[in-house]
Amino acid sequence: MYIQNIQTQFVLALILFLELKRSEKGRLESFTRMTKVYPNASFTGRVPPCKAEMEEEVMTVWKKSLIFNCNGFTVFDAKGDLVYRVDNYMEGNKGSILLMDANGKALLTIRRKRMSLGLGDNWLVYEGEETMANPRLSVKKSLNIFNNKCLAYVTAGESDARNNETMYEIEGSYSRRRCAVLDDRRRLAAEIKRKEGGRGVAFGTDIFRLVVQPNNIRTDFAMALVILLDQMF
């Protein structure tokens, strides 16, 4: 009996060791693929600083989580530094999606609000991990069959609040990675574009560019809209 227990413990330890090695290999492969997407990829990224007058921010969005066997996004700035990450989806955190900075700090929380009577669903965007306070943004998929260019509308706070006007309108085609975010004065706030690789490198739809005009929209808000477009379409 004693020998059988030792054999059982040895087998369990071996299984655990193999699982750990497989997880380590998965993380290494994930990082290796990440460096191919952006050779200067770094885990010591930064959040773009606030300035009075800011030039456009050009970011590379990779529809891949840094965590093995997890869905999400990884976002790099023009220098190749990691700036944003998403490591969970709806099933991962009671219907919430967290947009985090490079160090894993929650910047925005996105929650889905299901509507009745076939009115479509709303997505609410909160600051940090706080979901009890008033949301900063409400995003709703466009159901207007007479305006097929419009993908979604963005309003401030709750979408059903009185006198809420549209802050942003998203137009284009997310499946083709060609979208424009326009503010209430029809000024360009952000764009989603296909990423063009050099030396004949062809990127698919999982790797694309997000170009943000920080004077017209916060960069984290723009990334939140990318996440929501991915949920809608």
- pLDDT per position as a tens digit, 14-39: 443 344 344 444 444 554 555 555 55
Q: Give dist(CA 32, CA 35) in Å, integer.
A: 5
Q: Is there a single domain that holds both residue 167 and residue 186? A: yes
Domain count along the chain: 2
Q: Give dist(CA 28, CA 66) in Å, integer.
A: 10
Q: Is there a single domain that holds both residue 82 and residue 183? A: yes
Q: Is there a single domain that holds both residue 15 and residue 51? A: no
Q: Is there a single domain that holds both residue 172 and residue 217? A: yes
Is the pTM for the entire model greater than 0.85?
A: no
**CATH number of the domain encompassing residue 120:** 2.40.160.200
Residue 88 has pLDDT above 60, yes or no: yes
Residue 177 has pLDDT above 80, yes or no: yes
Closest-CA residue to 183 (of 166, 196, 200): 166
Instruction: Output the pLDDT for position 95.
Output: 73
**Alpha-carbon torsion, ordered 83, 177, 54, 227, to 10 deg:** -50
Q: Is there a single domain that holds both residue 22 and residue 94? A: no
Rounded average pLDDT over 181-196: 95
Inter-residue contact 113 to 135 (CB < 8 Å): no
Within 10 angstroms of residue 178's Cβ, the number of other Cβ atoms is 14
Instruction: Report residue 188 as tokens.
Output: 């360009």
Query: What are the φ/ψ torsions at residue 154 (nearest 5 degrees)?
Result: -125, 125
**Which of the pair, 149 or 77, is modelled with greater confidence?**
77
CA 122 to chain centre: 17
User: What pLDDT band is residue 54 in, cutting at 50, 70 and 90?
Assistant: confident
Residue span of the structural domain in which 3 resides: 1-37
What's the chain's average pLDDT? 78
Q: Is there a single domain that holds both residue 16 and residue 56? A: no
Residue 130 has pLDDT above 70, yes or no: yes
Q: Give dist(CA 193, CA 205) in Å, integer.
A: 10
Closest-CA residue to 203 (of 73, 107, 62): 62
Q: Is there a single domain that holds both residue 130 and residue 219? A: yes
Q: Is there a single domain that holds both residue 33 and residue 114? A: no
Considering 84-93, 99-108, 116-125, 190-199, the range whose residues carry the highest mean pLDDT is 99-108
The amino acid at residue 161 is: A
Q: What is the DSSP string of 180-216?
A: EEEETTS-EEEEEEEPBPSTT-B--TTEEEEEE-TTT
Q: Is there a single domain that holds both residue 93 and residue 176? A: yes
Q: Is there a single domain that holds both residue 127 and residue 206? A: yes
